[in-house]
């Protein structure tokens, strides 16, 4: 996966011109990585000292515990990981994708996307599979989906060739991960990945950045014209929609 930040291909009538791009630093991405590493360090130390993965027992996705009323487990599994390799792969993906998206999403909306994707992934996993699970990949699949939506919705700025290349790259990455998850013997929560994917798509479609070029020669600026009301509505749709899905096991038990 390339870590090159997507840059819009802007075709303007005169030259030279200056196009001001968003310059946000990936503060929230760095904070999420730091928090995840901190929780894993505590999880690892406690497990080493006691022989029991206590943090997972109290915060992992365990269906019986959720049915008993511990609904925080529909979100907290994104904080925990099963091994150093597990967290290393997830944090690498978060670093690569987060730097690209946060630049355009902004810190708060990026965090909202991450949390909603994690919630959606854990909800679908809770409803469709009895296996316990943990990890930030639910949220990361939501980021991947949101990036695809972002590129597609702003394809006029990126250019048709580059849009096709980036969408194809993302599609291959997603497909390979999902195929691996469905392989026999794989210890992957694919329902969680698909849930995160759906959550990311639903939020990004109406809540993601909608870029537009504004200004006068020779200075142009790329701005996000997405209204805050649209972002809020998209967040509510994902939250309420997946909350309703999460109720299904309770009413059918």
**Catalytic (active-site) positions:** 137, 193
CA nearest to 79, candidates 31, 113, 126: 31
Give the integer Cα–Cα distance in Å for 98 and 220: 26
Tell me the H-state helices in 51-83.
Answer: 54-59, 63-67
Order across the sheet with 211-216: list the strands: 18-20, 219-224, 211-216
Residues sharing a CB contact under 8 Å with residue 145, sequence separation 6 or more, in sequence order: 117, 174, 196, 197, 198, 199, 200, 201, 204
Q: Give me the residues paired with residue 133 across strands.
A: 61
CA nearest to 153, candidates 201, 215, 96: 201
Q: What's the DSSP call for residue 218?
A: T
């Amino acid at each position: 996966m390339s870590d090159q930040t997507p840059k819009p291909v802007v075709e303007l009538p005169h030259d030279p011109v200056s196009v001001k791009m968003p310059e946000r630093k990936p503060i929230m991405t760095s904070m999420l990585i730091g928090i995840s590493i901190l929780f894993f360090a505590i999880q690892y130390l406690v497990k080493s000292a006691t022989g029991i993965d206590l943090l997972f027992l109290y915060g992992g996705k365990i269906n019986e515990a959720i049915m008993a009323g511990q609904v925080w487990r529909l979100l907290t599994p994104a904080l925990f990981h099963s091994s150093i390799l597990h967290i290393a792969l997830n944090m690498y993906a978060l670093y690569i994708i987060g730097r690209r998206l946060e630049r355009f999403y902004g810190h708060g909306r990026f965090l909202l996307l991450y949390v909603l994707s994690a919630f959606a992934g854990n909800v679908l996993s809770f409803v469709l599979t009895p296996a316990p699970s943990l990890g930030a990949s639910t949220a990361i699949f939501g980021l991947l989906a949101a990036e695809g939506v972002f590129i597609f919705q702003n394809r006029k700025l990126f250019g048709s060739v580059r849009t096709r290349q980036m969408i194809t790259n993302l599609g291959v990455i997603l497909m390979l991960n999902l195929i691996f998850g469905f392989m026999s013997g794989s210890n992957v929560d694919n329902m969680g990945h698909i849930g995160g994917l759906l959550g990311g798509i639903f939020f990004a479609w109406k809540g993601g950045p909608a870029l537009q070029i504004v200004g006068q020669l020779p200075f142009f600026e790329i701005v996000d014209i997405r209204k805050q009301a649209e972002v809020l509505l998209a967040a509510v749709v994902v939250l309420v929609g997946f909350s309703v899905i999460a109720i299904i096991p309770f009413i059918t038990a």
